[in-house]
């Protein structure tokens, strides 16, 4: 019996790193076979009609849009009444999707525990949307240009709205990291193959933006985008 358990432990110690390597390797390889790739030598891309961004903290990505435009007024969907005190000079809105338990119980990386991380990866928890109103200064670090046509922006806005149950923004009472953010009920559930970054990447692909075909990590999302220079 002890020998049998030792063999099982040894097998697990061999298989788990191999599976992790396949997971990471696949994510990296697919960056070089992107969806919506622009043909070499093709016509020059038209000037963007909407300036948007992807914001990364090194692990998680958000979509960032102007608060108001001809396409959508995000204040109508995410009204200021849902937030504690949005800065009056906030010009942009950041929207991200993620694991409910992780979002609500990990406001800082210091709050991260191994059990919470593994719980998110194994799945079973519902998702939330995290919405933050931003000042322009927040886009000076770890932001990536997302030039869009009006049609692409409308597609991304529809993608965000589709993440809300019945298209309605239902806030989580009392759930905030600060004065400028709020959490909302969202469709879907988080797991190893459906991460915050796969949600961002899918939205980009559906809108016709060049993006990796699978984006479990933040660098998969940002690889084909241009970093904003401070």
pLDDT digits (tens, 9 = 90+) for 103-158: 988 766 666 566 666 666 666 788 999 999 999 999 988 999 998 999 999 999 99
Q: Is residue 70 within 8 Å of residue 166, measured between CB atoms?
A: no
Q: Is residue 105 within 8 Å of residue 111, measured between CB atoms?
A: yes
Strand partners, 190: 125
Rounded to an integer, what distance in angstroms lies between the CA atom of residue 155 and that of residue 158? 5
pLDDT in tens, 54-111: 999 999 999 999 999 988 999 999 999 999 999 999 999 999 999 998 898 876 666 6
Residue with tokens 């909407």: 50
pLDDT in tens, 162-180: 999 999 999 999 999 999 9
User: From its phi and psi, is residue 41 left (phi > 0), alpha (psi between -120 and 50) or beta?
Assistant: left
What pLDDT, on a 0 to 100 scale, did the predictor assign at position 122? Answer: 66
**Whole-model pTM?**
0.88
The token pair at 64 is 């960032």
Sign of the CA dihedral 19, 25, 29, 30? positive
Rounded to an integer, what distance in angstroms lies between the CA atom of residue 14 and that of residue 7? 11
Sheet with 125-134, strands from edge to edge, namely: 181-190, 125-134, 92-99, 61-66, 50-56, 143-148, 226-227
Rounded to an integer, what distance in angstroms lies between the CA atom of residue 6 and that of residue 78? 54
CB-based contacts of 1, cutoff 8 Å, min separation 6? none
Mean pLDDT of the chain: 88
Q: Is residue 172 within 8 Å of residue 184, measured between CB atoms?
A: yes
């Amino acid at each position: 019996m002890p020998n049998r358990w030792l063999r099982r432990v040894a097998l697990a110690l061999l298989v788990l790193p191999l599976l992790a390597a396949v997971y990471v390797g696949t994510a990296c390889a697919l960056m070089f076979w992107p969806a919506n790739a622009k043909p070499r030598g093709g016509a020059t891309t038209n000037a963007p009609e909407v300036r948007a961004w992807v914001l990364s903290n090194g692990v998680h990505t958000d979509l960032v849009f102007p608060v108001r435009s001809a396409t959508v007024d995000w204040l109508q969907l995410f009204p200021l009444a849902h937030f504690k005190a949005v800065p009056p000079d906030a010009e942009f809105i950041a929207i991200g999707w993620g694991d409910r338990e992780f979002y609500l119980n990990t406001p800082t990386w210091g709050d991260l525990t191994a059990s919470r991380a593994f719980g998110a990866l194994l799945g079973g928890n519902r998702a939330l949307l995290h919405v933050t109103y931003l000042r322009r200064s927040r886009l000076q670090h770890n932001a990536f240009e997302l030039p869009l046509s009006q049609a692409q922006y409308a597609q991304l806005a529809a993608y965000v709205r589709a993440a809300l149950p019945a298209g309605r923004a239902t806030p989580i009472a009392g759930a905030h990291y600060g004065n400028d953010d709020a959490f909302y009920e969202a469709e879907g559930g988080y797991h190893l193959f459906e991460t915050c970054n796969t949600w961002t990447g899918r939205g980009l692909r559906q809108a016709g933006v060049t993006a990796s075909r699978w984006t479990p990590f933040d660098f998969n999302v940002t690889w084909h985008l241009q970093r904003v220079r401070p």
